[in-house]
Amino acid sequence: MSSSTETPASEDPGRKRRVHGMLKLYYGLNEEGKADEEPQSLDPCDINGPHFDPEHYLNKLRKECSLAELMDQETCMVKQIRSLDSDMQTLVYENYNKFISATDTIRKMKNDFKKMEDEMDCLSANMAAITDFSARISGTLEDQHAQITKLSGVHTLLRKLQFLFELPARLNKCLELQAYSQAVSSHRRARCVLQQYSHMPSFKGIQDDCHAIMDKLAQELRQKFRDGGSSAKDLSECVELLLQLDEPAEDLCEKYLNHAGSRLELDLQSLEAEIRPSPPGPALKDSSTRRPSPSVTVGSPPDGTAKTSALPSPSSNTDILEFIDRGCNEFVSSLCLVITSYQELFVNHAQTGELASKNIPQMANSKLHAFVDDLAARYFSLVERRIKEEKGVADNSLLVRALDRFFRRLQAVAKLLPGSSVPQQGTEIVIRAATERVKQYLAALQSFYMDSLTDVRQALATPRLSLAAPGAGSHFGGSTSGRDAPSSLPELLSSLSASILNQIKSVLASVHLFTAKDITFSNKPYFKGEFCCQGVRESLVVSFIKFVCQSSRQFCESAGDKGGSTPPALLLLLSRLCLDYETSTISYILTLTDEQFLAQHHNPVTAVTALCAEAREAAQKLLNHYVKVQGLIISQMLRKSVETRDWVNTIEPRNVRAVMKRVVEDTTSIDVQVGLLYEEGVRKAHSSDSSKRTFSVYSSSRQQTRYAASYTPSAPMDTNLLSNIHKLFSERIDIFSSVEFNKVSVMTGIIKISLKTFLECVRLRTFGRYGLQQIQVDCHYLQMYLWRFVSDENLVHFLLDEIVGSSAHRCLDPAPMEQSVIEVICERG
């Protein structure tokens, strides 16, 4: 039952909307109740249109529809007619009720208005009676009104005269009671009158007495103003009274600011006492030379020894935070109190009468700005001097907190004194301090890097350092710290790279304090943009990366002590370090910097590709220099071995010379050393066809083993002609060309330099029979071992052939040794 009763009620609103919609459709109305502006249909078959023709519509249906469709159409129209009739009855019933309700409302309004009209008629009659009664009273009192007005004027004049004659006594009484405000008010009331009638003797005497009393009162007010021990309210009243007594407002402002300035001067002197005066130039220079370079303390150098810790400020007993706190709590707070009281006295105080026309607030405000700017400039000078003493970079949070407190307290001055340049000057000090701290961190990073390289050089000079393979168990530089130091080049490189990266991360974390969310000045546009972009990224990170590359390139200087004393292993290690920077480290550091500082790069910045190119260039230069240095070391041995021997009168060779064995040993050691840091590289396939190899023009045997060449001359013929023909079909060898970043290329470069030196030394000597044979033995021995180090064994064949050919050309009795004998000697050696 409940569901059946609820269904009509729930469908009633929907049914009403449907009915209203059909009616609006019929009358051509939109949702707002206005007629649609669409053109009406002219179709006579449109049953809802105004031009509907029943006969035409019926004829059309008869022609187009079947009987069943006509019956359906009739049924549908009957249903619509019944629905419209029902809806029409419902609407008429609802509107009928509304009309009845409106009629009742109108009837009630008529009754209410009738009562209101009666009340208004009664009120009009009462007002007419009152007007008549008032007119009769005015007529009765009209004769006495003039007499009363005259008597009132005489009474007022007598009271004024009485006030004037009693004024001196009244002023003296107020002076005794210190009722200065009442005395000034009484005198101001009578001053104009006394001035107007000063030509009368009686009024002249009163005026003179009043002037004497007011001069005494003004003197007491000036003394009270100079003392300044009164409350702010009393002081304000004192200033106002002096202004009313025609005291010059400019003098009052000057006196007040001078008195306040003397107290603020004591605060500045107290702050200055905490800062020692700068020492003379030579003394300062001596102290700077004795002081170790600042260094960040996070991380450790490769040898595990502790770096020099950041130095505290040597010239101050208190730290920077205490200094700023004292300055804010004493000077800035006092300055704010002076500004507030001064503004209440001279600027914001409401001026009345003659004082309002003197424009005192504008004059007083200009003097206040000059006063504040002068004192603030001195205070800022002291703050900057104290900030410059912060040379240590170990704990940056102390400086950032001090700058934040300094900047935060200056905002009070900005609120009290709008338009002042003090907040802007304070912001500039914070910016300069942050910039200087970034420079200090850059210097600290550079110092740490150079100290780390010094440690690496010491470690490389230590015999205990194993350069052969990692894990040899040797210790780094004989450290007594008890910790295991890097024992091989890879570990040394890893330790150096990790320590530098840790220092950079530590510095970025310290500098990031300037942009922390809880720091007030971090919201400034400079710290959101230029500081992150130009300050940190460019001036710190990019500059340090460039410094690493530039300082590494300086080790390639062959002239001077710096380049000449550089260990070759250090060149190799630095080249790998720069190459690692080019491949991954630079990109990682700059990505880390951009993520931490979220800088919007509005200004052009150094691209990662440019830094990577610079690092690769440094790595290439270092590796080329390493090849040159190692090649020259081996070349020096070969040159001395050639120049110090008598090749004409030497004995018949029975073994390989010791220097050749030393060359092979050193080359093997260099190969192991380079292999610790660089990959193997690509070698050309070794050919098993002897016809593809380059042989000496004196070679007599073409059937040789794979890795041994013959240097025995054949039948006598023009050696120069054969040698030149051979060179025409040989590739040109560039001795000092750039090497690739792999072991094979490095070793090829070193061997090219060594053998080329050997060749040039041979060309300058004269050989006998046994000298030529010794060169044959030595070259065969070198061929047995050196081919495996180079990318193309033909290069070794060619250079050794050149050496044997040149020695044969320079030989007085060219009688080569048999190949079998050479092989026996080399195998025995």
Give per-residue pLDDT as tens, 102-117.
888 888 887 878 788 8
Instruction: Indicate if 540 and 649 belong to the same structural domain.
Output: no
Average pLDDT over residues 542-569: 77
Instruction: Indicate if 549 and 426 belong to the same structural domain.
Output: yes
Instruction: Indicate if 635 and 748 belong to the same structural domain.
Output: no
Among 291, 290, 485, smallest CA distance to 391 is for 291
Q: Which residue is it, tokens 């102390």?
A: 398
Average pLDDT over residues 603-614: 87
Lowest mean pLDDT of 488-497, 776-785, 787-796, name the range: 787-796
Inform me whether the pLDDT recorded for 457 exceeds 50. Answer: yes
Instruction: Indicate if 518 and 657 belong to the same structural domain.
Output: no
- Provide the strand spans (E) within 365-415: none
Query: 3-state secondary structure string, 231-256?
Result: CHHHHHHHHHHHHHCCCCHHHHHHHH
State percent of the chain over pLDDT 70.
Answer: 70
Average pLDDT over residues 483-496: 75
State percent of the chain over pLDDT 90.
Answer: 16
Instruction: Indicate if 630 and 722 belong to the same structural domain.
Output: no
Instruction: Indicate if 99 and 164 belong to the same structural domain.
Output: yes
Geometric angle at alpha carbon 545, from 541 and 551, rounded to 5°: 140
- The answer to the question of residue 212 being in a domain is no
Instruction: Indicate if 616 and 726 belong to the same structural domain.
Output: no
- The answer to the question of residue 477 being in a domain is no
Instruction: Indicate if 60 and 120 belong to the same structural domain.
Output: yes
**Structure confidence at residue 416 as a pLDDT band (50, 70, 90):** confident
Among 582, 808, 650, 611, smallest CA distance to 714 is for 808
> Structural domain of residue 797, as residue ranges?
645-680+717-828
Q: What is the pLDDT of residue 290?
A: 36
- The answer to the question of residue 368 being in a domain is no
Who contacts 107 (Cβ-Cβ below 8 Å, separation ≥6)?
A: none
Q: Are the C-beta atoms of 295 and 308 separated by less than 8 Å?
A: yes
How many domains does the chain contain in total?
3
Q: What is the pLDDT of residue 282?
A: 40
- Among 147, 173, 199, residue at a domain's last position: 173
Instruction: Indicate if 515 and 607 belong to the same structural domain.
Output: yes
Burial (Cβ within 10 Å: 0-12, 13-18, ≥19) of residue 603: exposed
Inform me whether the pLDDT recorded for 771 exceeds 70. Answer: yes
Instruction: Indicate if 754 and 820 belong to the same structural domain.
Output: yes
Q: What is the pLDDT of residue 692?
A: 33
- The answer to the question of residue 509 being in a domain is yes
C-alpha–C-alpha distance, residues 370 and 421, integer Å:
10
| Residue type present at position 109 | M
C-alpha–C-alpha distance, residues 142 and 138, integer Å:
6
Q: Name the more confident of 444 and 358.
A: 444
Mean of all residue pLDDT scores within the chain:
76
Average pLDDT over residues 606-611: 89
Inform me whether the pLDDT recorded for 563 exceeds 50. Answer: no
Note the residue count of the chain: 829
Instruction: Indicate if 518 and 667 belong to the same structural domain.
Output: no
Phi–psi pair at 447, nearest 5 degrees:
-65, -40
Who contacts 793 (Cβ-Cβ below 8 Å, separation ≥6)?
A: 684, 686, 693, 707, 787
Q: What is the pLDDT of residue 178?
A: 65
Q: 3-state class of 739 per DSSP?
A: coil
What are 693-722's pLDDT values in tens digits? 333 434 433 333 333 334 444 434 455 555
Q: Name the more confident of 613 and 298.
A: 613
What are 672-696's pLDDT values in tens digits? 989 999 888 777 765 544 333 333 4
Q: Name the more confident of 292 and 794.
A: 794
| Residue type present at position 483 | R
- Among 619, 640, 661, residue at a domain's last position: 640
Which two structure tokens, joined as six digits, stand for 666? Answer: 């050193």
Q: Are the C-beta atoms of 568 and 471 separated by less than 8 Å?
A: no
Average pLDDT over residues 635-646: 90
C-alpha–C-alpha distance, residues 368 and 351, integer Å:
18
What are 254-298's pLDDT values in tens digits? 877 887 888 888 888 888 888 866 544 443 333 333 333 444 443
Q: 3-state class of 738 per DSSP?
A: coil
**Structure confidence at residue 823 as a pLDDT band (50, 70, 90):** confident
Lowest mean pLDDT of 204-218, 528-542, 582-596, 641-655, name the range: 204-218
- The answer to the question of residue 481 being in a domain is no
Q: What is the pLDDT of residue 477?
A: 35
Average pLDDT over residues 816-826: 87
Average pLDDT over residues 622-636: 91
Instruction: Indicate if 534 and 635 belong to the same structural domain.
Output: yes
**Structure confidence at residue 479 as a pLDDT band (50, 70, 90):** very low
C-alpha–C-alpha distance, residues 572 and 681, integer Å:
16
Q: What is the pLDDT of residue 617?
A: 92
Average pLDDT over residues 66-82: 89
- Among 155, 173, 191, residue at a domain's last position: 173
C-alpha–C-alpha distance, residues 272 and 327, integer Å:
10
- The answer to the question of residue 96 being in a domain is yes
C-alpha–C-alpha distance, residues 785 and 781, integer Å:
7
Average pLDDT over residues 477-505: 72
Average pLDDT over residues 644-662: 89
- The answer to the question of residue 612 being in a domain is yes
Q: What is the pLDDT of residue 615?
A: 92
**Structure confidence at residue 246 as a pLDDT band (50, 70, 90):** low
- The answer to the question of residue 148 being in a domain is yes
Q: 3-state class of 811 per DSSP?
A: strand
Q: What is the pLDDT of residue 313?
A: 40
